[in-house]
Amino acid sequence: MKELIVSPSILSLDFSRPGEQLDALANSHAQWLHFDVMDGHFVPNLTFGPDILRGFRKALPQKMDVHIMVEDARTYADVFIDAGADVLTFHSEALEDDLDAILSLCAHIRERGVLAGVSICPNTPVEPLLDHLAEMDVLLVMSVEPGFGGQSFMEGMLEKVKKARARIEAQGLSTRIEIDGGINAQTGALAVAAGCDTLVAGSYIFRQDIHAGIDSLLCLR
Ligand SMILES: O=C(CO)[C@@H](O)[C@H](O)COP(=O)(O)O
Ligand SMILES: [Fe+2]
């Protein structure tokens, strides 16, 4: 498996003191920064636009791991690539789980020089993607219903991780398996044991000392 990456989700950043928290992130061992984009349609919440991503990109050395939870995935993939995404992950469900459309958007994202990610909600099976993992850089398994931070981890999602990990190892692929939702030191350990190499965590990291939270996840490997 690849090196373990921790991607703190800025959805849980304390926006009453952003400067202090961004400084802590900038000096942390986190390699990616998870940037959740929500449009109020695909999920019942609204978050950040491209100007905010530009600001984070200037302020932080981390790679920008952008997770778009939007209906119009094609349009907003380009909008957030233009704004500085290093990893662009869209939802399979936003493209009605149409495999041709999913693979075509992955190819487009890669052509733009960005890592392409495909995310699946808890009710979406992983099987249709298993033969196509070489065509994406990241498989993002949601372990909560998308839309909000602070929810409980759905342990049943680890079956998807195990299936994808077995396929990645069998084929010698470099595709990452990222997990998002309810990750803390305990659930993170389960996720790593199941085959995840990329952990998103929001409330767990920002509700304690940021460096301690990140380091406690990085040492799971
Ligand atoms: O995409 C999402 C939620 O839709 C996540 O990235 C959350 O921000 C994770 O937050 P925690 O569950 O770790 O608090
Ligand atoms: Fe996310």
The per-residue pLDDT for range 199-211, each reduced to its tens digit, is 999 999 999 999 9
Atom of ligand 1 nearest to the CA of 9: 8
Question: What confidence tier does 36 reach under pLDDT thresholds 50, 70, 90?
Answer: very high
Enzyme catalytic residues: 36, 180
221: pLDDT strictly greater than 90 = no
Residues, the chain? 221
Distance of CA 201 to the CA centre of its chain: 9
Residue 48 — very low, low, confident or very high, per pLDDT cuts 50/70/90? very high
Q: Is 151 in the pocket of ligand 1 (CB under 6 A)?
A: yes
Rounded to 10 degrees, what is the CA torsion of 164, 170, 173, 177? 20
Does residue 109 have a pLDDT over 90?
yes
> Is the predicted pLDDT of residue 2 greater than 90, yes or no?
no
Number of domains in the chain: 1
Q: If you average pLDDT over residues 107-135, what whole number do you get?
A: 98
The whole-angstrom separation of Cα 211 and Cα 70 is: 31
Q: What's the pLDDT at 1?
A: 79
State pLDDT tens for residues 171-187: 999 999 999 999 999 99
Ligand 1 test: best mutation among 64, 144, 203, most atoms within 8 Å of CB? Answer: 144
- pLDDT tens per residue across span 210-219: 999 999 999 9
Which amino acid is located at 135 in the chain? Answer: E
Closest residue to atom 2 of ligand 1, CA basis: 146
> The CATH number of the domain where 171 resides is what?
3.20.20.70
Cβ–ligand 1 distance for 95 under 6 Å, the answer no
Q: How many CB atoms lie within 10 A of CB 123?
A: 8
CA neighbor of 88 nearest in space, from 23, 163, 70, 167: 70
Q: How far is the CA of 39 from the centre of ligand 1 (A)?
A: 15
pLDDT in tens, 63-72: 999 999 999 9
Domain holding 50, by residue range, is: 5-218
Give dist(CA 45, CA 72) in Å, integer. 15
Extract the tokens encoding 130: 């298993």
